[in-house]
Structure 1
Amino acid sequence: MAGRIWATAAMLAVMATAGAASADSPYLRPNVYDATNMDRVTVEAGFTDDIFAGRVAMRSDHWNVFGPGGEVAISDVTYLNQIAVFEVMTPADGTYRISSGRREGRIGKMYRSASQGWRFVGEEAGVTVPEADQVETQSITVADVYVTRGEGREIPAARGVGVEVIPVTHPAEIVEGEDAVFQLLIDGRPVAGQAVTVFREAGRYDGKLVEADLTTGEDGRFTVRPSAPGAYLTLIRYRGEAPAGARTPYQSQSHALTFVAGAQ
């Protein structure tokens, strides 16, 4: 189907969980992005092959929100078949980062493809890989979204662990037709030359699902110019050696950031 992320960008599908969700992409979606005068927001979380249309509920042991008062764990989560739903308290003005936390997924075998870089065994149909060329790998997934109450514009500090995308342009100030700047960090360091795909929710209806295919610059930054108002999602997959102490020597790390562009 033309409206599917998997059909449109198979190279970027996230191998994050076992079973039916193995080809799906993560997302978080709040009911509002501007929480001014609201003491809470409701968030939907899922995996999908059709952007922002949950097909498998996202589960995590590390739900959290980082706001003006610091980081708070989220424990009261309702898991349905296709989505998870929870509330996030926004008691004070400021910017809140809502996150799945680092979700540890399946452990499998990966190898270095001559044409496509690191690939899980089985991702390339009909390819037989010698056992000696395979490395043990674990999937790690993080999904983030920012909501803002009032005029607070301080972005929560980077975690410094794994793959993360930090807004340079404040999420509440992103509008159609203007540049919005983000920065990719891996273990707290900017990474150049990393592929980023930006999806647009409106693509479910007009057929243009991918807003842009980008590459990070020397400072890890990339720039998105939203073509229309609405919700967008940046998706990054980074595969390589795992940090010291990890369960496997290699990791496949995926990060998804949801943001919305306002009208001019």
Structure 2
Amino acid sequence: MRLTKNRLSAMVFGGLLCTAPGVQAHMPYVLPGAFDVGQRDHITVESAFGEEPFAAEVAMRDAPFSLTLPDGSAGEAGPVTYLRDLSIFEADLKTPGTYRVTTGQRLGRKGQMYRVNGQWVMRGEDGAPPKGAEPVAVQSATLADAYVTRGQPTAAALKPRGEALEIQPITHPNSIASGSDATFLLLFDGKPLAGVDVTLFRAAGVYDGRKIAGQIKTDAAGQFTLKPDDAGRYLILVRHRTTAPAGSEIPYRSYTYTLAFDAA
């Protein structure tokens, strides 16, 4: 797919200009070659931005890729190879257990959005801002995670960071089965985030036209439950816009988070 300058700019914002989940918005992702590696001691990982789940369009060139080790400590990703469409790296899995593979929190492009009565809005089709809209400066922030298990699943790597937008798995991601419920907790700065839209994408939807496998809002406790009906790879997408941390150059941030998993 050829990207125009305008489409590429919207993509690099990490979904900054999108108003509804799953609608013509690029998303970050990190995709390991396998989610259950058996006893292999390493994994190959790709990462990119794409409009479709796991369909690379532009490489993520400045992300602080890293691992969380099975004991919960920080680990390093291998050297990154940057192609035009995607980034690739290897990660060592020296000990058994579950690892979190992550892009790390990536700050992206700065731009302008609008707010009307506290709601985020876009320009109209004629390019003019909506009536009564307040222009605000916004910077994108993206984070993409996946969990990989060598041997038996463990839980230490699932512990939330306590910063920005993230999903804490309640159901272990490497134990999700097709046709069964999987429960998660949406957090912002370590606190549950209620009433936020969550979209579940199917990788196979690129071929059969059923890209969106589920849409739901988090409950009052920040939890949500999804049921992947088919076996295969899935991507959870969440977006949240709010004030930036104290001392930030830009007053607002548009956060995008994705979690990749495989339903057996």
Identify the residue that residue 145 of structure 1 maps to in structure 2.
Answer: 146
Q: Secondary structure at the match of 2:206?
A: helix
- Aligned pair partner of 1:35 in 30, 34, 37: 37
CA contact (8 A) 2:77 2:92 kept: no
Write the deviation string for residues 123-160 of structure 1: whole angstroms up to 9, x where unpaired: x4225238982111110000111111111321422111
The TM-score normalised by the length of structure 2 is 0.86
Work out the number of aligned pairs and report it.
Answer: 245
CA contact (8 A) 1:166 1:184 kept: yes
Identical aligned residues as a percent: 40
The TM-score normalised by the length of structure 1 is 0.86
Shift, 1:213, TM fit = 0.8
Check 1:131–1:248 CA distance in 2 against 1; reply closer, same or farther (3 A cut): farther
- Aligned pair partner of 1:93 in 90, 93, 96: 96
Distance 1:194 1:155 in 2: 26
Q: Which amino acid aligns with 1:152?
A: P
Check 1:261–1:33 CA distance in 2 against 1; reply closer, same or farther (3 A cut): same
- Aligned pair partner of 2:68 in 66, 71, 76: 66
Distance 1:253 1:227 in 2: 28
Write the deviation string for residues 161-187 of structure 1: whole angstroms up to 9, x where unpaired: 100011110011100111000110000
Q: Secondary structure at the match of 2:168?
A: strand
Check 1:17–1:247 CA distance in 2 against 1; reply closer, same or farther (3 A cut): farther
Distance 1:83 1:233 in 2: 17
Distance 1:161 1:204 in 2: 32
Cα root mean square deviation, aligned: 2.3
Identify the residue that residue 54 of structure 2 maps to in structure 1.
Answer: 52
Distance 1:59 1:222 in 2: 32
Check 1:125–1:73 CA distance in 2 against 1; reply closer, same or farther (3 A cut): farther
Equivalent residues in 2 for 1:20-31, closer than 5 Å: 23-31=25-33
Equivalent residues in 2 for 1:128-139, closer than 5 Å: 128-129=128-129, 133-139=134-140
- Structure 2 gap segments, 5+ residues each: 2-10, 17-23
Q: Secondary structure at the match of 2:262?
A: strand
124-133 or 207-216: which moved more?
124-133
- Structure 1 gap segments, 5+ residues each: 2-12
Identify the residue that residue 155 of structure 2 maps to in structure 1.
Answer: 154
